[in-house]
A and B are shown apart, each in its own frame.
Chain A
Amino acid sequence: MLAQQSNEDLPRRQYESGLSFLQGQRYAEALKDFQAVIDSFPRSQVADNALLQVALYHLDVAHDLTSTQTAVDQLLKVYPDSDSAPMAHVIGGRVSMSKGRTPSDVDAAVASFERVERLFPGNDAVPAAGFYAGEALRLVRRHDEALERFRRVSASYPNSPWAASANLAAGYCLVQSDRAPVALAEVQRVRQMQPQTSMATDAININSILYRLYVRAPGQPAFAFSGRFVGDERANFGDVIGVTVDRANRLLLGHKAGIAVFDAKGTLTATVAANEPSAFFVDEAGRIVFARQSALHTEKAASIPVSVPQPAPKPARPVEEIPSVVALSTGQRIVVDKKEKAVIRVGATGQYLGPFVSAINTERLATNTLDDVAMIDKDSKGITVVDREGRPLSKILPKGANYQFDEPVDLVFDQLGHLYVLDRGKAAVYVFGPKNRLITTFTLAEKSPGAFTRARSIGLDAAGRIYIFDERVKRIQVYQ
């Protein structure tokens, strides 16, 4: 017994060391520890856990599907009955999900998730598998089926963190199924079951959006000026190229001198210097990437030129004007090639991956959690929405029931998939829901506080607060 304890002691400590490095985001060190456990103590009780951590790292941090699959395969082959095996099946399903969204990809992913409950009926990974099965279906817009999966998780494992995730995702599905009011109570349950967690914060954010759009509106305006401004009037931000709120809840304002970074309270915390950038976005690692003169620039990193290959012997054509760029969850960048009236797709390292949308005069892109990309068509003044392969999904016509675009200048999705279109000409924000139905219009009288008569750009935070940069006010105004 003592011998067994001492045999287990070293691998366990090394495994815990790896976890500690992982928590501190020192991934290389963490991987060294985990690999040492796997190689030196393959019979220890934590060897399977180490392999699982390696798989999770490759999937969630390195986005390396091949290495993830290798680790999962090794785990399931060597430790098929271990504590980690159920979660390995879950990761295997997630790999299938990440590979693509064809029906066969989805079926493979769902099958992998369903396998967990069949093989390990009482394991903690079962609710995780149930949640990801719902996610696989949600990502391909099978909302009713996804909703059923999410509800099954929250009904079967109400105390599990996965139930909270499922409740949040169920909220999304309900919105997409035009049952947004039902989502309120379902999302609120997360705050009851998992208070003091990040998911409780997610829940209040989602319900804040739902409240404004479905409870306060239409009887009352969905938004009101908060009286709050971000940025100093004297800063004289000129030629603003965009406003965005990243996942860390930082508010970023791109202008001719760079990117100003504000914290959640509106205090300027940093500025990324750039000479007349044309666009910017925040990448997967939270780094600010801006476009300038045919290249994507990242602070403290080499610039990535963006060009389109030409038939030989012509050299590749640099994309000279990039008025907008967004990043998809796959790591691909969707770049507007203004000169060519096209949108192209490039890799995270700048390699050209192909055309995305052609023959469109656009300067503004927005993307949502499904990697759909919405773009303002300057010629038609309408909105075109395509999927992550660039295939058309829908169009919002310049004129529809209860609205008519005059000069749409910016657009943004909230986390529930509502599309907010900023119309400078109308000094209004139009909010479109599922099937591009107009849910509400927000505008303020010209003389009233917070009016945005010369709006330039719009951003949204996680709670659905609107941030509009108005060239007359020269600051960002906050609406809630």
Chain B
Amino acid sequence: MKTFILACVVLGLILGGITANALFIHKISTELIEKVSRLPESIEHTELFAACLETVNELDETMKKHRLALSITVTHADLEGTENLLLRLRAACREKNADDYGAARELLIAKIHNLQESEGFSLDGVI
């Protein structure tokens, strides 16, 4: 009977833990997506790159702040993929490369969406 109760407690803790983790990842990824969405889709005036670089720095800070917590459940490949896209976006802003900027922004949004879905509940993920 004691083992049964212990097993029920462990199951409860697991369910609580994964729900809390899903909410945490959802919160962080929503914050990241909001910040990326603030960046303009395409840049026609080169003066805008400086403002974009500031937003990219903010994104980088958010990622660094939560990296340890994220790495508990998010695979290293997903984390590194997100960080690499941030680096690519930063480089595009510095080099004022409008083509690469647009592509990197789209890819980063898709990557964060993917991360959000993989850690939350989705039938696609389960299947």
- Say whether A associates with B: no
The chain A residues found within 8 Å of chain B, CB to CB, are none
- B residues lining the A interface (CB < 8 Å): none
